[in-house]
Amino acid sequence: MLTQHKIRQVDLFNMWDKLCSLHIQWDAALRRTESLKLKCEKNAIKNIVITGMGGSAMSGDILHRLVAGCCPVPIEINRSYSVPAYVNEQTLFIAISYSGDTEETLEAFKTALKRKAQIISITTGGELAKLTPPKSDLLLLPPDSTPRTSFGHLFVSLWRIFDILKLCTNGFGNVKEAAGFIEEQINLFSNLTENDALELAGDIQDTLPIIYSNGTTLLAVNNRLRNQFHENAKILAYGNFLPEMNHNEIVGWERIIHLTGKVSCILLRDESDHYTTKQRMEVTRELIEPHAVIFKEVQSAGNSLLERVLYLMIYGDFLTYYLAILNETDPTPITKIDLLKTQLAVIKPPK
């Protein structure tokens, strides 16, 4: 049985407290942005580009899926050094870098500046804060965490921008009242005696998790869960979505004898799943389940799309955290990313 003593032995950087305080972070972000005023011209916005990498960009992914049915202008999430060719003075360009020093984001940001896009920067400081011109908007975050444990700060800041500019409605849920729901889920998944996420972590130990979901409302949640497996548990994870995988990937399950006993499957489900996609999920399970160590369906819970998305995200955060602890792996360090950045730092760009 997992105990707090065991958690403290492994979790040397105390990610536990960060996971358990998301509702506090959420409320703090709401208060911090309550009186926010923006300099950009709403009527000039014809498209939106949100640029960032990793956990910094994930808030954009989540919000993009939530507002897909109500935002009056197209949104693109940009994970690159470059920017789309259409970026110009009619673009709302939101640069998100928790550290403020993400090189891909900075280069894209500089290009957007040259294209005279309307700029909003979200960061804790660094070069992004220094380079954001006075005529543009700068939202500063508290520098007390990591991108993957700062979702409340990042998402609420981004949502506040959309809300002020009337680029979304609250049809997906009430952001201002979500902290109470978040706290309830944290209490649920931090209970070490009765906990579905902890049980699943034990079931998928020493396997390659494959995550499936719909390709609309849960697409970003699927992607985030894979990233949390990578960064928290330090294991590879793979994912895809339905119905697309029914047109190609499903065939790949025919010859996986070399993976026997090594693959687990997690299917994320939500009431927004298209009625035919629901049927496809049932048939897909019948075809895949015999080849997986475990096939687990995780049904979302909540009274709105926002709450259901948050439920699955919190479930995934604790699932990947528990897997790290069970594998005696500290969930916070990202050694290979740090090594990669160190080696890249000595490479001189072409003149």
Q: What letter represents residue 330's amino acid?
A: D
Catalytic residue among 104, 127, 231, 307: 231
Q: What is the largest CA-CA distance in the chain?
A: 60
As a whole number of angstroms, the distance between CA 228 and CA 219 comes to 15
Contact between 135 and 148 (Cβ < 8 Å): no
- Tokens standing for residue 322: 């528990």
Catalytic residue among 39, 114, 116, 341: 341
Mapped onto helix, strand or coil, the DSSP state of residue 256 is coil
- Tokens standing for residue 50: 């949100």
Distances (CA, A) of 61 to 25, 54, 325: 19, 10, 28
- 258 is an active site residue: no
Q: What is the dihedral of CA 121, 69, 243, 148, to 10 degrees?
A: 30
Contacts of residue 131, Cβ cutoff 8 Å, sequence gap at least 6: 106, 109, 110, 113
Contact between 142 and 124 (Cβ < 8 Å): yes
H/E segment holding residue 119: strand 118-123
- 176 is an active site residue: no
- 231 is an active site residue: yes
Half-sphere exposure of 326 (CA within 13 A, CB side): 21
Catalytic residue among 247, 258, 348, 351: 247
Q: What's the burial of 206, exposed, middle or buried (CB within 10 Å: 0-12/13-18/19+)? A: exposed
Active site residues: 231, 247, 341
